[in-house]
Amino acid sequence: MSRASSIAYPNIALVKYWGKRDEALILPAAGSLSLTVDDLATTTAVEVTDRPGEDIFILNGRAASASATERTSAFLDVIRQQVGDDRAAVVDSTNAGPTGAGMASSASGFAALASAAASAYGLSLDQPALSRLARRGSGSACRSVIGGLAVWHAGDELESFAEPVPGPDLRLVPVIVSGRPKAVSSRRAMRLSRDTSPFYPAWVSSTEETLRQMIAACAAGDIERIGQLTESHALRMHAVIASSTPPVRYLSPASLTVLDAVQELRADGLAAWATADAGPNVCVLTTPGDAGQVAQAMAGLAVSDPAEGAPGPLRILGPGPGAHLIPDPVELTRGAS
């Protein structure tokens, strides 16, 4: 029996990934760029049993749903095939942030799982290979293998991984308006956008262009340009999603209240630009110097509804580390006894 534990943090995309060109391998239609943050981590322990059979997946202290367990098993199969090992595993995962609410829990989740499971099954991987592996669980997870700013190359199977990119010190203020899981999964909504939105081809080609501009803006440390590109790219993504048939709308009235407030902060001279993933929650991109004022203004909006499962005010997020192994709690307990 072998065990390993890992921690990984969510990443928030400044240039979004939305659409696959290969669903089985999870190859994206275009590249993307994100910031891995330093809070809302997923911690995952994987224990390989001594028998083949069903995997067990415990999420936040309870048996996970059948569909979540199936997705976890399908991911473990990728590793099992590589190492020629058919033993089942027990996976125990805890999210510090809301699960499935568009705060990148699948990114931290599959990055932590990839790191812990590879180690538990005895698969030794360098960072690009671990990023490629995490991608097979959830596309955006490949970026949480990398700390700080990361670019995920569209590439083919071998080239499609994330790697660090240079850039300025940034902060994100998460405004969690709802902790509820989203009604339509990003996997399903991406497929709808690709198959039905008349704007999808323009979205893909313009994303490649935005990515080039964003990499240049990061290298130049041009925060203003990074912010403009971030907000406009997020709004484009939500426009493509809303233009699908049937339409999908992730932003809620509370999200729009936040977007308006962010615009006002900019008019007042603060560095503040909004972005939102596949859910109603908004992250405000800002600088270390303005983050305190931005967070205060966001708390003043009182849009985080506890009835919607939204936690209280969250701390300001800075750049966090990539997925990595941590001392295994069970091994430590055993060692101490």
**Residues engaged in binding ligand PMV (CB under 6 A):** 13, 16-18, 32, 106-107, 138-140, 186-187, 277-278
- Tell me which DSSP letter residue 317 carries: B
Smallest distance, Å, CB 234 to ligand PMV? 9
Residue whose CB is less far from ligand PMV, 18 or 203: 18
Contact present, 46 and 116 (Cβ < 8 Å)? yes
Smallest distance, Å, CB 241 to ligand PMV? 9
CA distance 79 to 73: 10
Residue whose CB is less far from ligand PMV, 13 or 218: 13
User: For residue 260, what are the contacts with CB-CB under 8 A and spacing of at least 6?
Assistant: none
Smallest CA-to-CA distance from 283 within 300, 258, 308 is with: 258
Smallest distance, Å, CB 106 to ligand PMV? 4
Smallest distance, Å, CB 8 to ligand PMV? 13
Smallest CA-to-CA distance from 187 within 74, 20, 321 is with: 20
Smallest CA-to-CA distance from 8 within 118, 82, 167 is with: 118
Backbone φ, ψ for residue 158 (5° rounding): -80, -30
CA distance 201 to 301: 37
Residue whose CB is less far from ligand PMV, 140 or 160: 140
Smallest distance, Å, CB 189 to ligand PMV? 9
Smallest distance, Å, CB 16 to ligand PMV? 4
Contact present, 13 and 330 (Cβ < 8 Å)? no
Residue whose CB is less far from ligand PMV, 231 or 277: 277
Listing DSSP states for 2-63 in one string gives EEEEEEE--EEEEE----EEETTTTEESS-EEEEEBSSS-EEEEEEE-SS-S--EEEETTEE
Residue whose CB is less far from ligand PMV, 278 or 317: 278
Which residue in this structure is represented by tokens 């990984």? 8
Smallest CA-to-CA distance from 1 within 93, 113, 122 is with: 122
Smallest distance, Å, CB 111 to ligand PMV? 10
Smallest distance, Å, CB 98 to ligand PMV? 14
